[in-house]
Amino acid sequence: MTGPAPPFPTRHKGQIPVTELLAKASRSLLDVWGEEMFHSRGTVLDVLGQRLMVFNRPEAVEQVLVTQADSFAAKPAQLRKCLAPLMGEGLFIAEGAGWRGRRPATAAATACPAPPRAIAAVAAEWRDLWRTRPAGARIELVGAMEACAAELLCRMLFGAAGGRVASAELARLAAAYRGKISGKGLITMLALPESLARMRVSGEARRIHGAVDRLVEGARRLPDHPMARLAEAPGMTKAMLRQEAISLLAMGLDALAGLLAAAWFLLALSPKAEAGLHAELAEQLGGRPPEAEDIARLPVTRALLLETLRLYPPVPLLMRVAARETEVAGVPVPAGSLACVAPWVIHRHQALWDAPDEFRPARFMPDAPAPKPFAYLPFGLGPRHCVGKEMTVNMAMLLLATLAQEFRLHLTPGPLPVPQAGLTLRLAERLPMRLERR
């Protein structure tokens, strides 16, 4: 069984000079991977005086992210330089005792199901919005899914205060911050001293802090929302609460928006997958809006989204600093080395997947063989895996199920998007599509 193979960045052959590698990284971190990386067990590079060790073997992935997680707990200083002005010591970049103290409360706050009414309300609003559009109307998919994801997350985290106006403001501010730490902006941030890097993004960070503080203040009085649960955690200060809210928003927004946009794009490329989705929704829902209880009854919808995450993992590169000299899958790792596990590479590795560049949702159907161990990690693995992974997939399922019952999206003439990545992956900057009523 075959499927469409959506475009991916050109893969160079053989080794290239470090200067060319850095030039590629300034455009997109996806461009740095040569063809041999999708066949090999990994590589070792010395880049600007830093030992960089890329691990592709499943047993190496397991050791770096799971069994030796204590030795690879720290994230690189370069990442902190980009994100600390925004997130402070939020869970995504916190380390040591700070991370261990915060993670249980944040995980518990997001482990509860998202308030079904909040998700249903946002899905219904977008359905009604699309109903007002004429047949064949153009929709800019990436921007629409970013706005939709921002609404979903804000309503889930902050309740009624996180409505369309507040979520649109946060999405705009997040885009401005992302622009400073992506592409050439990322290279600039890494080259600047810590103090100047902070100054470069301080305006955007300050505006996001103010917007989130206002939302948190209202949400902490709502007992059914994550911010209220987090606010009750022992020792949780106002600044800490803001940091966790921003961490959940920042990473959740990119992950959810990217998943939704890529899913619609892949459905437009694959009439067979689209027909399978429509058949399941008709059989299981019969035209009614989906509810949280329906999630377990929509295996085709879930498989489609899991395969989308394989092809477009939200964080395409995971980097950890070796705290001490160790060994990974028989390879000596000096202290201070950067250990790299790239979901973008692992998910498309020839030794781990059949036809890895093709879109095949059947890989994740209940009766399909499970992926090879440690070969699928769209939200990371081990103690530092993303606490919002189930929440992200479930929200995407409910929104997609609501809209796909009534609408399909068609690609417009022009080249297909080639994904790019800074710290997170993006399907495209813009992707116009044509809306059709079913």
* Torsional sign, CA 35, 37, 43, 49: positive
pLDDT value of position 97: 67
Residue-number span of the structural domain to which 253 is assigned = 18-437
Residue 341, in any domain of the structure: yes
Taking only the tens place, the pLDDT of each residue in 50-67 is: 888 999 999 999 999 999
Would the pLDDT of 326 be above 80? yes
Would the pLDDT of 205 be above 60? yes
CA separation, residue 278 to residues 127, 141, 149, 311, 381 (Å): 16, 20, 22, 22, 32
Distance in angstroms between the alpha carbons of the first and the last residue of the chain: 27
Separation between Cα atoms, residue 339 and residue 54, nearest integer Å: 6
Q: How many domains is the chain partitioned into structurally?
A: 1
Residue 101, in any domain of the structure: yes
pLDDT value of position 358: 98
SS3 at position 276 = helix
Tokens of 328: 């990974």
pLDDT value of position 109: 67
pLDDT value of position 240: 83
Q: Which of 163-167, 394-398, 403-407 has the lowest mean pLDDT?
A: 163-167
pLDDT bucket at 105, cuts 50 / 70 / 90: low
Neighbours of 114 (CB within 10 A): 24
Burial class from Cβ neighbours inside 10 Å (0-12, 13-18, 19+) for residue 220 reads buried
Separation between Cα atoms, residue 292 and residue 286, nearest integer Å: 16
SS3 at position 1 = coil
Read off the pLDDT of each residue in 112-141 and give the average, rounded to a whole number. Answer: 85
Taking only the tens place, the pLDDT of each residue in 212-266 is: 888 888 777 776 677 777 777 777 788 888 888 888 888 889 999 999 999 999 9
Separation between Cα atoms, residue 347 and residue 222, nearest integer Å: 40
pLDDT value of position 126: 94
Residue 65, in any domain of the structure: yes
Residue predicted with more confidence, 77 or 412: 412
pLDDT value of position 76: 84
Separation between Cα atoms, residue 428 and residue 86, nearest integer Å: 24
Query: What amino acid occupies position 405?
Result: Q
pLDDT bucket at 162, cuts 50 / 70 / 90: low
Separation between Cα atoms, residue 6 and residue 357, nearest integer Å: 7
SS3 at position 225 = coil
* Torsional sign, CA 352, 46, 383, 262: negative
Taking only the tens place, the pLDDT of each residue in 31-43 is: 999 999 999 999 9
* In contact, 397 and 389? CB cutoff 8 Å: no
Tokens of 118: 């909040």
User: pTM for this one?
Assistant: 0.93
Concatenating the DSSP letter of every residue in 386-418 gives -TTHHHHHHHHHHHHHHHHTTEEEEEPSSPPP-
* In contact, 82 and 186? CB cutoff 8 Å: yes
Residue 25, in any domain of the structure: yes
Would the pLDDT of 406 be above 80? yes
Read off the pLDDT of each residue in 93-99 and give the average, rounded to a whole number. Answer: 70
Separation between Cα atoms, residue 24 and residue 35, nearest integer Å: 14
Q: Average per-residue pLDDT in the chain? A: 88
Backbone region of residue 387 per phi and psi (left: phi > 0; alpha: psi in -120 to 50; beta: other values): alpha
Q: What would you report as the CA-atom Rg of the chain, rounded to the nearest whole angstrom?
A: 21
pLDDT value of position 160: 66
Spatial CB neighbours of 271, under 8 Å, sequence gap ≥ 6? none
Measured in degrees and rounded to the nearest 5, phi and psi for residue 330 equal 85, 0
SS3 at position 331 = strand
CA separation, residue 198 to residues 89, 100, 191, 264, 368 (Å): 14, 26, 12, 36, 48
Residue 9, in any domain of the structure: no
Query: What amino acid occupies position 80?
Result: R
pLDDT bucket at 111, cuts 50 / 70 / 90: low
Residue 381, in any domain of the structure: yes
Would the pLDDT of 377 be above 90? yes
Task: Identify the CATH number of the domain in which residue 271 sits.
Answer: 1.10.630.10
pLDDT value of position 114: 52
Residue 242, in any domain of the structure: yes
pLDDT bucket at 351, cuts 50 / 70 / 90: very high
pLDDT value of position 360: 98
Q: What angle is formed at CA 265 by the lines to CA 288 and CA 438, rounded to 5 degrees?
A: 35
Taking only the tens place, the pLDDT of each residue in 70-90 is: 999 888 887 888 888 888 877
Residue 13, in any domain of the structure: no
Residue predicted with more confidence, 10 or 383: 10
